[in-house]
Structure 1
Amino acid sequence: MKKSFLLFLILALAVFSSACSSKSNLPVKKLTITKSDGQEVFVKAEVASTFKERQNGFMFRQTIPDGTGMLFIFEEEQVLDFWMKNTPHPLSIAYIDKNGRIRDILDMTPYSLENVTSSTKVLYALEVPQGWYQKVGIKAGDKLKLDF
């Protein structure tokens, strides 16, 4: 009986640790954001374009380095809602329209189940470590190059 419980415990820990792994199989793209003054800023982003990829997002990630993020691509423009379930790292999200224009930049609280909603219909969302947009001077109205 003790051996069975120990085996179960080991298997459960293995499954949990793989779910919490920071490793991702998503493609990574170097994205360019052009600020209103013409200066370009780069971010290395994982690209989540399927329902399952978008659903998992940054869940369980313990660290997300500055200059990196995750780009969520949707099939059609819509008002988007994101939350932070199982996401321990504070994030900022940019909601981006079909032309690449950043419409909103909002901060998100770790583990919060409260929806963070775009103010208008958008096609993309780009999550980065909280405060990164402000640190590099990116604001609503700046433009993401759509060459991915």
Structure 2
Amino acid sequence: MFQRQQRLVGFDRPTTRKSIGILALFLIGTALITGMILRQATAFSSGVLHAKEGRYSLMLEVASTSRQRRNGLMERDSLAPDAGMLFVYNEEQTTDHAFWMYQTRIPLDIAFLDHDGEIQSITSMAPCTREKEACPRYPAGTRFWMALEVNAGYFNEHGIAAGDRLEVDPLQHPLLLKPVLLQE
């Protein structure tokens, strides 16, 4: 009986406290890393393109961090017919801001949108799986806050042009909420 009590008392030694401390640090580190990964996770949102000829629903993959925007649709073999990637910026981009198709295997169209989601310009982009230096750049030619990539031909097939508008569900992606002006 006396030996058993001695073993139980042994759990209060400094070695046990160190082990618990190390375990606690490990769990905190794991939580921090998980949080960083989740911040980099891609968000999805639904969107509706409003054109003269109708309304067209899209499932949007939202790229709102620099890493997500940098990766874009690289290394993908396909994009669903009613899907796209919406690049969202925290500040207005200049007219010479350009996109490229390095390591992008599918032909895409890109629309550059203002802060209200109105399409300012549309450009077609060809796949480029060659060396970085050989891939052309596609400048926006207009100032923009968002850019929408879809399968090549999508905009033309649906009669979507400059002046048409993309509406995104802000409840699914809070970054897309616009500031509300209070009226007196």
- TM-score band, normalised by shorter chain: 0.7 to 0.9
Q: 1-side partners of 2:75 and 2:119: how far apart?
A: 27
Deviations 1:72-126 (A, max 9, x none): 0011111231000000100000000112110111100101621111121100000
Matches within 5 A, 1:88-99: 88-99=105-116
For 2:92 and 2:168, locate their aligned partners in 1 and report how far apart those are by CA, in whole Å. 15
**Shift of residue 147 of structure 1?**
3.5
1:98-113 matched pairs, under 5 angstroms: 98-111=115-128, 113=135
| C-alpha distance in structure 2 between counterparts of 1:36 and 1:132, whole Å | 15
Q: Distance in 2 between matches of 1:33 and 1:128?
A: 12
Distance in 1 of aligned mates of 2:168 and 2:71: 23
- Counterpart amino acid of 1:132? Y
Counterpart in the other structure of 1:26: 42
Match of 1:36 in 2: 52
1:77-96 equivalences under 5 Å are: 77-79=92-94, 80-96=97-113
Unaligned runs of 5+ in 1: 1-24
Aligned mates of 1:73, 1:94 — CA distance in 2: 12
**Distance in 1 between residues matched to 2:55 and 2:45, nearest whole Å:** 15
- The separation in 1 between residues aligned to 2:47 and 2:77, in whole angstroms, is 23
Q: How far did residue 142 of structure 1 move? A: 0.1
Structure 2 unaligned blocks of 5 or more: 1-40, 129-133, 171-184
1:84 partner amino acid: M
Tell whether the 8 Å contact from 1:30 to 1:43 is kept in structure 2 after alignment: yes
Counterpart secondary structure, 2:115? coil
| Contact 2:62–2:86, Cα closer than 8 Å, also in 1 | yes
Percent identity of paired positions between Structure 1 and Structure 2: 36
Instruction: Please list every run of at least 4 consecutive aligned residues from structure 1 whose deviation after the TM superposition is greater than 3 angstroms.
Output: none
Query: 1:146 Cα shift?
Result: 4.4
Deviation at 1:65, TM superposition (A): 1.6
1:53-68 to structure 2, matched below 5 A, reads 53-68=68-83
Q: What TM-score, normalized to structure 1?
A: 0.78
Normalising by structure 2, we get a TM-score of: 0.64
2:131 aligned residue: none
Deviation at 1:36, TM superposition (A): 3.1
2:120 match: secondary structure:
strand
Task: Give 1:116-131 correspondences, 5 Å limit.
Answer: 116-131=138-153
Given residue 51 of structure 1, which amino acid in structure 2 is its aligned partner? S
Aligned counterpart in structure 1 of residue 160 of structure 2, from 121, 138, 141: 138
Q: Distance in 1 between matches of 2:156 and 2:58?
A: 14
- Whole-Å separation in 1 of the counterparts to 2:139 and 2:59: 24
